[in-house]
Amino acid sequence: MDLTYTAMVAAVASGAVVGLLLAVFGGGGSVLATPALLYVVGLGDTHMAIGTSAAAVAVSAAVNLMGHARGGRVKWPCASVFAAAGLAGAVGGSSLAKQVDGQALLLLFAVAMAAIALSMMRRPKADGDPLVHITWPLTLRLAPMGLATGFAAGFFGIGGGFLIVPGLMAAAGMTLANAAASSLLSVTLFSAATSANYALSSQVIWPVAGLFILGGAGGGWLGMKAAGALASHALLARRLFAGLVLIVAAYVAWQGLGR
């Protein structure tokens, strides 16, 4: 792909929007990265867009993980078991996705987007045990859930936070705040594994990923400011964003059908 000035600006702007949404909404915020690379930046190849977006999401998640770690919100033992099991799933999922026709993959991605949007419509639960610690029974619940979630994240080339957060809450009984922070370890590793798998097939455009990450840093900073202002209307904002994701999912499906 020849990086024109317009494409470079589009990559930075798209990254800024995705970074802002990630900061405000967390899980589900990165789902627009692949459509943005396809239809705004103009990558034109589904696999290239997935591989490139996964690289950008991995870096963004890692930066956010460090911030949450400094705040002591990451439950490292539980997060590590979930992420380690899911890493194998992410490699398997991304390997399978590379073998799927681009148009068919777009249709499946649209279905995943719709599922993410519908999950965001629900009111999140904030209860849980803030003192949760790893045990063998918890390990036996976390590992298989991590494996399945990693596979889905790798196949669709998304961070998977919308699956990881409720998965951690259900399997480990941790609070929403701890689950959101702990999920970033999985998002980082799943996205890194996915991008590395695509990079082995030369399906990551690194300059575009770098520009996307640059824009995401600025968007994330703005998103942190906006999150405070939206705190009293968080559920309404989430549902409005979910509506936007549904609209984009419909457009992606339309493109996947070759319209």
pLDDT values of the chain reduced to their tens digit, one per residue, 259 residues: 678 989 999 999 998 888 887 766 665 667 888 899 999 999 888 999 999 999 998 888 888 788 778 888 889 999 999 999 999 999 999 999 999 988 888 888 888 888 877 877 776 665 677 788 888 888 999 999 999 989 988 998 877 777 788 888 888 888 877 888 888 899 889 999 999 999 999 999 999 999 999 998 888 788 767 766 665 676 677 777 788 888 888 888 888 786 5
**137-160 burial, b if ≥16 CB within 10 A, otherwise e?**
ebbebbbebbbbbbbbbbbbbbbb
pLDDT single digits (tens) 162-199: 778 888 888 888 887 788 888 889 988 999 999 999 99
Range of the domain at 187: 5-256
Closest listed residue to residue 110, CA positions, set 71, 158, 159: 158
pLDDT single digits (tens) 118-152: 877 776 665 677 788 888 888 999 999 999 989 98
What is the Cα–Cα distance from 125 to 119, expressed in whole angstroms?
12
What is the Cα–Cα distance from 97 to 192, expressed in whole angstroms?
15
**172-181 burial, b if ≥16 CB within 10 A, otherwise e?**
bbbbbebbbb
What is the Cα–Cα distance from 194 to 203, expressed in whole angstroms?
11
Q: Give the chain's domain count.
A: 1
Count other Cβ atoms within 10 Å, centred on residue 170. Answer: 14
176-199 helix and 136-156 helix, angle to the nearest 10 degrees: 50
